[in-house]
Structure 1
Amino acid sequence: MAEPPAYPVGLRLPGRRVVVLGGGQVAQRRLPALIAAGADIVLVSPEVTPSVEAMADAGEIAWERRPYAEGDLAEAWYALIATSDPEANAQASAEAERHRVWCVRSDDADQATAWTPATGHSEGVTVAVLTTDARGRDPRHTAAIRDAVVEGLRDGTLVAPHHRTRTPGVALVGGGPGDPDLITVRGRRLLAEADVVIADRLGPRDLLAELPPHVEVIDAAKIPYGRYMAQEAINNALIEHAKQGKSVVRLKGGDPYVFGRGMEELQALAEAGIPCTVVPGISSSISVPGAAGIPVTHRGVAHEFTVVSGHVAPDDERSLVDWPSLAKLTGTLVILMGVDKIGKIAETLVAHGKSPGTPVALVQEGTTAAQRRVDATLATVAETVRAAEVKPPAVIVIGEVVKVGPEPAA
């Protein structure tokens, strides 16, 4: 006769005693979820891993530095048995049975009264997967099912519509440097749930093709020296659609607050009484150099990096950058939006003490299929940009870190 399947249930553990026996790798993996569940955790083990010890030092668990002893599971609601001593595990399992404590065993699942499912989370939803056939339990298969379901919920490929009314509002989502795989999990999920998407040119455009047909996409592209959508118009569009009860995503390149005018949009929404969520994104200032093989810091080479907007020339009265001070720094200088001003920028840095031979790398269309890297020095960068026809968007890296990685492909 086939064994009946396990009955799935969610344990509510806040303030309730949970006993963990053993402080090795199993405990290290399971403890964070128990801590997040608010359990009152007592860990019994003579030794623990450094990570588990850090949890004890932080007060997240109580660690009793000794082997298991009879009575440890008294008044526990749940127990995780994961010591390296099979005899102690069997004794603890028997105690759990006597006290009617749900007990998980890492060494012998068949002797346990509970199994730990493969779990994952996606914005308010916990996915837990158990294999129902005890004779054919396959943890890797179970985990693969869990991963597929969670990823589908996160990226919108597994459609799970909300049947309760959603609170309308705006999400300012940093889309990352351009590669659609580099948007955050939360950003991708919000994009999949949007009714309206107001997108920048530098956002991950490939993601727009995945949106359902009913989603309205508004082009807020700010193309240099071309057509653009005024910031006030963007603010008004965000407010107008949110007031219509729609879920609106403002999809921006990089991070909303790194030269992205995200705070201006948030302030406009706040004044209009529109709730707003900010989802940070991977800034091109660090990700694009990294994709091109350039670390912005490196031991013994650069202990700091500075990110500067180059959209205003150094001699422009609107400039807020202290270029003379930047010329004196020994670390890495990363310039965004500075392709057409790089000649004047290089000239200013050299005039204030930077060596003309300082390495420079320009990375155009970073992280995308069109990425290319062009190398120069401060003395040659202006002519190199003209000769190589470097166009925005491009991230400019100035400093010795340019030479740290492998030689760029010709």
Structure 2
Amino acid sequence: MASATFPLLPSAGRRAGLILARRTEPHACRLSPRFSTTPRPPSVPPDVAGRRAFDLRDERGEDNSRAQSMGTLLSHAGLMPHRDGNEPLSPPIELATTYERPPDGNYLLEDGRGGGRVYSRTNNNTREALERAVAEMEVWNPTRRRPKRRVGEDRLSDGSTTPPMADSDTALPPPPALPVCASFSSGMAATSAVLLSLNAPVRVVLPDDIYHGIPTALHSVFRRHGVKWTAVDMTDTDGVKEALSLSVAEVEGTDGDVVLWLETPSNPLCKVTDIRALCELADQVRCGGGSDVDGGGGGSCGVNITTVVDSTWAPPPITQPLLLGADAVLHSATKYLGGHSDVLMGMVSASSATSSGRRLGAALREVQSAAGAVPSPFDAWLVLRGLRTLDVRIRRQCSNASALAEFLSSHPGAGRVHYPGLRSHPGREIAEGQMSGGLYGGMLSFEV
């Protein structure tokens, strides 16, 4: 029996290189398929390969227009759409405070429109990317299908173009107009901006269980400017109606505003407020039982009542107050949105679907620019980073909180446990209706 030995390829080749054969035939060794000498087809540029894959899925009848989930939307937070689809996956930070002035000195855009950048207190690309991302998730509806189309003509690497694809007949109507979103240097700065955006005299109806910083600011700062407030149990509809009616009576005949301030779940007792029901109640009080043309939250019937929801404990993957009729939603982005305990920020989004929301949105922009409590570009970049993992984080936090609440509720050393996800919670039915996906928040409290 004849044998032949051939030298092996170094390291990697030893694993899958030449096959050593011990056969009677003298030249029985052959190259493994991995090292086949068969010519490979020419490489395909990535954009062409991606387009071919898209077309292949289309030919197979696969749905290229499936609606994005909230998690998918957030995973792209901050991507810059003006870069024609070739944007960096981590958006750059724009640190500039001032901008080049055109030769004629008018700061107009090239087409003659206003809006050119002047000073970063008013405009900053990184901050605006954050505000756009938060505005989108406040009104995101995953049941809507994205149009099945390619925008314009896509130019491929070989210079050819593909024609636009027509919108799918099955696409639903476009989503609501984005709210006006304004970011501030802290959650309390955002709260102050809301109050500064209203007309004096201002009357505020607060929950009796609320983050302590808000009544503290009202008492120590805003009372010197004529702001008055009253606290009421927001689960008591009759009590809320009475407090609103008294507040409206106090400012009637003036240009003053009334604010119905909601916080759900509340801090620290996790009370659950029916956002939709109280927004409708505010509309009834203002309009004497009627409704304004926007379907809620307007100022056309009488004294302006603005409904503001502090949804810090229930970020958009859990609750979207603007879709429930609120005029504005506020977050301390220091908590869930930032998510890493390394940034201080507040966000306010004013609805474009209500007249009070539109009025508040315009005023917020003025306060943001003129009063100037804006976050730094780096802070905005940090919160954008946090948004990209928000959906994943919030689901795990809710799961952990639920497990801990169940454990504590049966522990002899714990008294009453406050968590909306418990079947024993008095607001559980309301929470099921406005807190999506079986998520009841990552915060709880208990008594000992």
| TM-score (normalizing by structure 2) | 0.30
Q: Answer 1 or 2: which has greater strand percent.
A: 1
Q: Which has the higher contact order (CA 8 A, sep 6+)?
A: 2
Point out the structure with max Rg over C-alpha. 2
